[in-house]
Structure 1
Amino acid sequence: MISMRAALACATVVVLSGCVSQASYDTSREALRGSPALRTDFINNCVSNISRKSLAQRQAMAKLMNTSVRNTPSVYCRRVTNGITSGRMTRDDMNAAARGQVTPAAVRVLQGR
């Protein structure tokens, strides 16, 4: 059985570094689906990381997501988490984003559509 700390670490890798195996992605997705506490920790960790991005990066993200720069970290992290857990954001979408290539599916998720 996977521990909560290991699941969080695995899930964090999915979003923040990309280029993960399908098995790791699937494990992370299932862990996030099944644990509200893990989702909360994941979102909090994500918000912390996104908040450290440059102002220019956060402004671009805010524009894409139709939100304010101030709300960008929390909106981004909630939408990505929901996209992962719902299956609307695939491992391929995440890996493409890690390479700087945003897919149409990722745009829909980030825009809350």
Structure 2
Amino acid sequence: MRILPFVLAIAATGLLAACEPQGTRRPGDLTQSDLNAGRRIVATDPARRQDLLNNCRAGIRMKPERERNNMATLVGVTPAQMPAVFCNRIISAIESGRLTAADLNAAGRGDISRKVLAVVQGR
């Protein structure tokens, strides 16, 4: 499913908005230290967290209806509920440390692990 890597990339980018890049890495890759720094920023700035959620939801809403419907089936909610539920689950998992930079990088390349799938499905 193409939307999951897209949304994970939006979430990771949003968390890193105030972080400076460190070292050389592939475009789109994220280090754990960058993710931790972004996590701290979001934890202390509710407005930044809300912006991240809004950007995530907007990114999903830009996708074709068929993809959104497929995601709703995967997430286990109605198509109308899917953007909010999906983004809340992903961002909460990033904040709590349940998803790591390695998880996000792999998902961004299309390698969706069982852990990421469980997060998306609310398990």
Q: What's the TM-score, normalizing by structure 1? A: 0.79
Structure-2 residue corresponding to 1:10: 16
Q: After TM superposition, where is structure 1 displaced by more than 6 Å over at least 4 residues in a row?
A: none
Q: Give the number of the structure whose residues are more often helix, by fraction.
A: 1
Counting aligned pairs with the same residue, the percent is 35
C-alpha separation in 2, matches of 1:58 and 1:69: 7
Residue 38 in 1 paired to residue 48 in 2?
yes
The answer to which structure, 1 or 2, has the higher relative contact order (CA under 8 A, 6+ apart) is: 2
Q: 1:70-99 CA deviation, whole Å, 9 max, x = no partner?
A: 221111111111000011111111111111
> Greater CA deviation, 17-26 or 82-91?
17-26
Structure-2 residue corresponding to 1:104: 114
Structure-1 residue corresponding to 2:68: 58
Q: CA deviation at 1:35?
A: 2.0
> Greater CA deviation, 17-26 or 55-64?
17-26
Structure 1 unpaired stretches of 5+:
1-6, 12-16
C-alpha separation in 2, matches of 1:90 and 1:24: 11
Structure 2 unpaired stretches of 5+:
1-12, 18-26
Q: What's the TM-score, normalizing by structure 2? A: 0.73
RMSD value, Cα: 2.2
Matched residue count: 103
* Preserved CA contact (<8 Å) 2:15 2:39: no
* Preserved CA contact (<8 Å) 1:18 1:94: no
